Amino acid sequence: MTITLSMDGKEIRADEGKTLLEAARESGVDIPTICFHEATTANALCRICVVEVEGQRVLQPACIVKAAGNMKVQTRSEKVIRARRTILEMLASSMDLSEAPEIQQMMKEYGADTGRFPDAQRRESEVKDDNPMFIRDYSKCLLCWRCVQVCADDAQYTFAINFDGRGYETQIGTFFDKAIPETSCVMCGQCVGVCPTGALKPKREYLLEQGLSAGEISVMNTGRKQRKAK
Amino acid sequence: MIKADRVVTSICPYCGVGCTLQLHVKDDFIFKVTTPFDSPVNHGNLCVKGRFGYDYIYHPKRVTTPLIRKTKQEAGKRTQAFDLSEWREVSWVEALDYVADRLVEIYKRDGSDAMAVYCCAKATNEDNYLLQKMYRALFRTNNVDHCTRLCHAGSVVALQQAVGSSAMSNTASQVVLNDVFIVTGSNTSENHPIIALQMKEAVQKHSAKMIVVDPRRIDLVDMAEMWLPLKPGTNVPVFSAMAHVIVKENLVNHEFIADRTEGYQEFVESLEKFTPEYAEELSGVPADDIRKAARLYANAKNGAIYWGMGISQLSHGTASALALIHLAFLTGHIGRDGTGLNPLRGQNNVQGASDMGAMPFHYPGYMRVDDPAHRAKWEKTWNIEAGGLSLKLGLTTTEILGHAHEGGIRALYIMGENPMMSEPNLNETRKHMGQLEFLVAQDIFINESGAFADVFLPATPFAEKDGTFSNTDRRVQRVRVAQPPRGKSRPDWQIICDLALRIESRLGVATSKWDYANPEEVLREMGGVNSDYAGITYDRIDKVGLIYPVPDLTHPGTPTLFKESFPRGRGKFHILDYVPVREQADDEYPFILTTGRLLEHWHGGSMTRNSALNEIYPEARVEMHPADAEIHGIRDGDAVKVQSRRGEIVVRATVTEKTTVGVVFLPWHFAEAAANLLTNDALDPQALIPEFKACAVQVFPARESDLPNPENVLVRGRY
């Protein structure tokens, strides 16, 4: 069944059951997203997609709220813009966004001030380089949950990683903080494929960034004896 | 952040799933692989090999210069040369002239029956088409085969006999439309990882019920409705007992049987003896579980069967596959979306290589070589005098080496294959290889087989050539150049064409055409005769592949086969008998060894053992059930000697309930502990596929120092 709702003062139509985000995109209305990914279940974690719905006390995350008939939605109201800008400023104050060009672009668009929270404690951690396939640099992690989701029942059903810690200490981790090869991880790299900020990265790309040449990378890991001398 | 110079879309070179890869290239170096989330086959998912396992391309051991052995090799005294110091670097002209001279010399002296070639399920359709063309058109022999013989030959023959076609009947992405499906003889999570994801999705998100029939407690069992742990090689009684139950309980689709099949009455009579109790006695699977599984499958709205080598790699592999086909006939679970008979093909292009006629009984398009009408079509295409091509059926993979002796096969050309790892009973294979008079290896590494060669022709891996692969569900997809060939290496199709021209001039014959401007011309030539591919152009498959049959240029492709009828008309029931595996466990060799693959490795290991993949799985392990291990005083991680009547290896043991009592498992990727030294070279009488999946072995404790590489220790927490 098709329903009709108002978005930014314009009448739009959507199939029943669609989220506000889907309804908006189908009608050509742009709502920004960060944690949302078409291949994962929407979780409304980052809140950058919030919109103002008439009659609702607080802003609503468009990625999970279903469109309903006669809804009146503002996707660019002052309240919405301010919320988005603040979210971006808080992200910038606590994590490394240097490899998230889409978020940097959003910061420009929303006029976000990277220095708004100068005393914020940054979430920093060492690069975890514990397997030959990919590295994990959680200083760049914004906890979008995509990697956890694709490792679980959004794709791989492997359940090797999950949230670790609570509140501000939350980080993505393996169980008992084991090294990747010792976990149930199958190293499919689905997590690397959905990471929006470069926190997860193929090892070879990382080594190239560290200044190693293609030749130097190619002779790594080739030392194992493969055949006992006959 | 590294900015790619270019991002090239291609197809994964590993398994038959055919995932789309986007190769991110910087300064002719692939530093990252991604995949689009709207890719039709893999929906944005990859496995460890596809996403990270392409680094073998840059391995220092890759050979990129033509080589000729310094010491001339002779039949009977042939040796292996892994070290480059035993080879002389030569120009392409010298290498190709030498190959042409030697091949023509042997052909002129000993005739067509002395010539043989192994095509390659890793190479493109175009490469394979050209190589079989070269041997058929120039040397007039059908001694053309490839590793399909060692993987799904049993399934291919069974499907040809029963339905008249040999590919998957439905696409893998239709798994989510099944409501009951059987997975048997396939450790899908490790061997077709992306199809396994779709199976898991079917169970978790679409409430499908999965029945796993396998001697090992594979990963999929965690999500299965039922697990039937049969003894290796008892497929025929188990599936025939399911058929017995379906008939006795009248769960039969009578309409389908009447309209679409033949031989039903005789078949039903032959089922009398296959009671579930009889099957239980032979297989160890409880009779009631067989009944329950039969009811589940028969009562499904959409039932499907997916199978792997556990069905086909047996001395009765054809019969095993027929037993599965019967289940689909009885219930009518075929010819509709979400049903079907689906042999999961192993290699990226094993389907394509078979389609291209890289087989001893068929021209491209499965046209029998002993049918003069088919012969005439290819004679016309290849500009050959009427009656010039051979009507004689060629030798199969295993037979070719078995005939390597005086008066038999004298010259062998191997493109990309590694029989010294993939054949059963390798000690025998070694003797046969030594008997060849002339051996050419066209490859990227000097592997265990290439080390025997006289000449090494350096070819390019998938990322350095254009062409097409046909995946397990018949989807023909584009493979593209991401970087120029390294060193002096050249794409296979160019090497073959150059060589063929040289051979033609030495034979003094009219040309069969080898001056192709690009691989697409090759595909078009083949599609001109093979109607399955007639409508496929590179333009049409630029973005998304087409699923053949594609009979004309506007045809949209055929995801589901047999909707109206079977290629042979009616589906044919066959009368089956239980034939035990050739070698049974006894007091001397009390375990049944079954072999298979690992997620991290690929077949003979040419690619993955020269990759970082080897770091995460560096050693072979024999899997043993805790009850067996305890009796033999073996603990997890202990070094053990595994011995059969044909050979022995030393590996560490993994003590695990993943295997069943009396059954041990070995992966066959590791040259230093090659499982195929142990396996039995007994053949299926129809398909001539060897019995890799069952032979008798003994397991003894061994010393750590007996291990080939004691310093390589596996640390893995995965299933």
pLDDT in tens, B566-593: 999 999 999 999 999 999 999 999 999 9
Q: Do A226 and B47 touch (CB under 8 A)?
A: no
Interchain pair B47, A188: CB under 8 A? yes
**CB distance B651 to B673 below 8 Å:** yes
- Residue B616 to residue A203, Cβ atoms within 8 A: no
Within a domain: A227: no
pLDDT class for B59, splitting at 50, 70, 90? very high
The beta-carbon neighbor of A132 closest among B58, B616, B672 is: B616
Q: Which helix (H) or strand (E) holds B97?
A: helix B92-110
Same-domain status, A190 and A158: yes
| Inter-chain CB proximity B616 and A181 less than 8 Å | yes
Q: Is A206 contained in some domain? A: yes
* B29 close to A188: Cβ distance less than 8 angstroms: no
> Is B31 close to A157, i.e. CB distance below 8 A?
no
Q: How far apart are CA A203 and CA A212, in angstroms?
A: 12
Distance from CA of A224 to the nearest CA of B (A): 8
Does B655 touch chain A if contact means CB atoms closer than 8 Å?
A: no
Query: In chain B, what percentage of residues exceed pLDDT 70?
Result: 100
* Whole-number Å distance between alpha carbons of B283 and B581: 12
A186, B718 contact by CB (below 8 A): yes
Band the pLDDT of B411: cuts 50, 70, 90.
very high
pLDDT at A220: 84
User: Which of B:216-245 have CB within 8 Å of A?
Assistant: 223
| Contact assignment for A182 to B45 by CB distance below 8 Å | no
A150 and A179 in a common domain: yes
Residue A193: closest C-alpha in chain B: B34
Q: What is the mean pLDDT of residues A165-175?
A: 92
Topology classification of domain B153-343: Dimethylsulfoxide Reductase; domain 2 (3.40.228)
What is A67-91 written as a DSSP string?
P-TT-EEESS-HHHHHHHHHHHHHH
A209 contacts B672? CB cut-off 8 A: no
Q: Which of A105, A122, A139 is the last residue of a domain?
A: A122
Residue A145 touches chain B, beta carbons under 8 Å: no
Q: Does A114 touch chain B (CB under 8 A)?
A: no
Provide, as residue numbers in chain A, all residues whose Cβ is less than 8 Å from the Cβ of B48.
Answer: 133, 186-189
Tell me whether residues B82 and A204 touch, CB distance under 8 A.
Answer: no
**pLDDT tens, residue by residue, B436-491:** 999 999 999 999 999 999 999 999 999 999 999 999 999 999 999 999 999 999 99
Q: Which two tokens stand for residue B264?
A: 């039903």
Q: Choose among B415, B412, B417: nearest CA to B434.
A: B412
- Amino acid letter for position B126: E
Report CB contact under 8 Å: A132, B712: no
A179 in the same domain as A79: no
Query: Which residue among A183, A219, A224 places its CB closest to the CB of B712?
Result: A224
Q: What are phi and psi of A76, to 5 degrees?
A: -135, 25
Asked if B52 lies within 8 A of A39 by C-beta distance, the reply is no
Nearest to A155 among B2, B197, B615 (CB): B197
Task: Dump pLDDT digits (tens) for B192-228.
Answer: 999 999 999 999 999 999 999 999 999 999 999 999 9
Q: Inter-chain contact A202–B32, Cβ cutoff 8 Å? A: yes
CB B442 within 8 A of CB B414: yes
Residue of A nearest to B706 (CA): A228
* The pLDDT of residue A224 is above 60: no
Whether A211 has its CB under 8 Å from any CB of chain B: the answer is no
Q: Does residue B538 or residue B715 have the better pLDDT?
A: B538
Q: What is the pLDDT of residues B359-396, one digit of tens each?
A: 999 999 999 999 999 999 999 999 999 999 999 999 99
Q: Token pair of B499, please?
A: 């060589």
Residues of chain A found within 8 Å of residue B46, distances taken between Cβ atoms? 188-190, 193
Q: Does B1 touch chain A (CB under 8 A)?
A: yes
Residues in chain B within 8 Å Cβ distance of A132: 52, 612, 615-616
A vs B, Cβ pairs < 8 A, gives 136
Is A227 touching B (CB cutoff 8 A)? yes
Asked if A210 reaches chain B (Cβ–Cβ under 8 Å), the answer is no
- Distance (Å, whole) CA B389 – CA B327: 40
User: In Å, how far is A59's CA from the nearest CA of chain B?
Assistant: 30
- Asked if the C-beta of B616 comes within 8 angstroms of chain A's C-beta atoms, the answer is yes
Residue A100 above 80 pLDDT? yes
A38 chain-B contacts, CB cut-off 8 A: 37
Contacts A187 to B, Cβ<8 Å: 48, 52, 600, 616
What confidence tens digit (pLDDT) does each residue in A124-151 have? 999 999 999 999 999 999 999 999 999 9
Residues of B in contact with A188 (CB under 8 A): 45-48, 51, 193
Query: How buried is B225 (Cβ within 10 angstroms: 0-12 exposed, 13-18 middle, 19+ buried)?
Result: middle
pTM for the full model? 0.96
- The predicted pLDDT at position A223 comes to 56
Domain tally, chain A: 2
Do B59 and A218 count as a contact with CB atoms less than 8 A apart? Answer: yes
Mark whether A115 and A131 lie in a shared domain: no
CATH number at residue A195: 3.30.70.20
Partner-chain residue, chosen from A38, A189, A214, that has the shortest CB–CB distance to B48:
A189
- CB-count burial class (<10 Å; 0-12, 13-18, 19+) for A41: middle
A212 part of contact set with chain B, CB < 8 Å: no
Mean pLDDT on B689-697? 97
Q: Please identify, among A91, A122, A153, the residue that sits at the C-terminal boundary of a domain.
A: A122
CATH of B591-706, one of 3.40.50.300, 3.30.70.3270, 2.40.40.20, 2.160.20.10: 2.40.40.20
Over residues B270-287, the pLDDT tens digits come to 999 999 999 999 999 999
Check residue B610 and give its pLDDT: 96
- Of all residues in chain A, the percent with pLDDT exceeding 70 is 96
Q: How far is B711 from chain A (nearest CA, A)?
A: 9
The interaxial angle of helices B317-331 and B235-248, nearest 10 deg, is: 20
**Does one domain contain both A24 and A109?**
yes
pLDDT digits (tens, 9 = 90+) for A4-57: 999 999 999 999 999 999 999 999 999 999 999 999 999 999 999 999 999 999
CA distance to A14, A24, B629, B687, per residue, from A66 (Å) = 10, 11, 57, 57
Q: A159 contacts in B (CB within 8 Å)?
A: none
Q: Kindly tell me the sign of the dihedral angle through the C-alpha atoms of B144, B149, B154, B155.
A: negative
Long-range contacts of B76-81 (CB under 8 A, 24+ apart): B76/B434, B76/B435, B77/B434, B78/B433, B78/B434, B78/B435, B78/B436, B78/B439, B78/B452, B79/B434, B79/B452, B80/B448, B80/B451, B80/B452, B81/B446, B81/B451
Do both A21 and A84 map to the same domain? yes
Cα–Cα distance list, B24 to B29, B33, B139, B462, B482 (Å): 8, 6, 42, 14, 8
Q: Are residues A86 and A186 in the same domain?
A: no
pLDDT of residue A226: 42
Give the count of beta carbons closer than 10 Å to the beta carbon of residue B118. 27
A224: in domain: no
Ranges for all domains in chain B classified under CATH 3.40.50.740: 67-151+348-547
Q: What is the mean pLDDT of chain A?
A: 94
Question: Across the interface, which of A39, A98, A131 has its CB nearest the CB of B616?
Answer: A131
pLDDT (0 to 100) of residue B522: 98
Is A11 in the same domain as A100? Answer: yes
Q: Does A224 touch chain B (CB under 8 A)?
A: yes
Q: What is the CATH number of domain B67-151+348-547?
A: 3.40.50.740
CA distance A188 to A217: 21
- pLDDT score of A225: 43
B606 interface with A at CB cutoff 8 Å: no
Q: Residue A221 — very low, low, confident or very high, per pLDDT cuts 50/70/90?
A: low
**Considering only residues 173 to 202 of chain A, which have any Cβ-Cβ distance to chain B shorter than 8 Å?**
178, 181-190, 192-193, 198, 202
Residue spans in chain B of domains classed CATH 2.40.40.20: 591-706
Q: Spell out which residues of chain A touch residue B223, defining contact as CB-CB under 8 Å.
A: 157
pLDDT at A168: 87
Q: CA-CA distance, B121 to B13, in Å (whole number)? A: 10
Pair (A7, A47) in one structural domain: yes
Question: Which residues numbered 79-98 in A keep a CB inside 8 Å of some CB on B?
Answer: 98
Residues 15-34 of B with CB under 8 A from A: 24, 26-29, 31-34
Could you tell me which chain A residue has the CA closest to the CA of B45?
A190
Q: What's the Cα-to-Cα distance from B187 to each of B190, B386, B577, rounded to whole Å?
A: 6, 48, 26
A116 and A138 in one domain?
A: no
Query: Above 50 in pLDDT, residue B561?
Result: yes
Q: Are residues A7 and A89 in the same domain?
A: yes
**3-state SS, residue B521:** helix
Q: How far is A225 from chain B (nearest CA, A)?
A: 7
> Which of A99, A129, A133, A154 should we substitute to test contact with B (largest number of B Cβ atoms within 10 Å)?
A133
Q: Which pLDDT value is given to residue B334?
A: 97
State the average pLDDT over residues A160-181. Answer: 93
For residue B365, what is the DSSP state? T
pLDDT confidence band for B30 (50 / 70 / 90):
very high
* Residue B55, both tokens: 């680094």
Residues A144 and A198 grouped into a single domain: yes
Last residue of a domain, one of A92, A122, A152: A122
For residue A186, list chain B residues with Cβ-Cβ distance below 8 A. Answer: 47-48, 193, 599, 718-719
**Quick check: B649 pLDDT over 80?**
yes
Residue B166, pLDDT score: 86
Contacting residues for B136 by C-beta, under 8 A, at least 6 apart? B142, B144, B357, B363, B378, B382, B389, B390
Residue B297: per-residue pLDDT? 98
Those residues whose C-beta lies under 8 Å from the C-beta of residue A65, and which sit 6 or more positions away, are: A19, A20, A53
CATH code where residue A15 lies:
3.10.20.740
Q: How far apart are CA B386 and CA B375, in angstroms?
A: 9
By Cβ distance, the residue of A190, A217, A224 closest to B618 is A224
Range of the domain at A167: 127-218
Looking at residue A230, its pLDDT comes to 34
Look at B167 and B411; give whichever has higher pLDDT.
B411
The number of angstroms, rounded, from the C-alpha of A67 to the middle of its chain's C-alpha atoms is: 24
What would the mean pLDDT of B534-552 be, rounded to a whole number? 96
Residue that is written with structure tokens 């052995």 in the block: B69
For A99, the closest of B1, B46, B609 (CB atoms) is B1
Q: Which residues of B touch A228 (CB under 8 A)?
A: 672, 708-709
Residue B118, classed as helix, strand or coil, is strand
pLDDT score for A222: 66
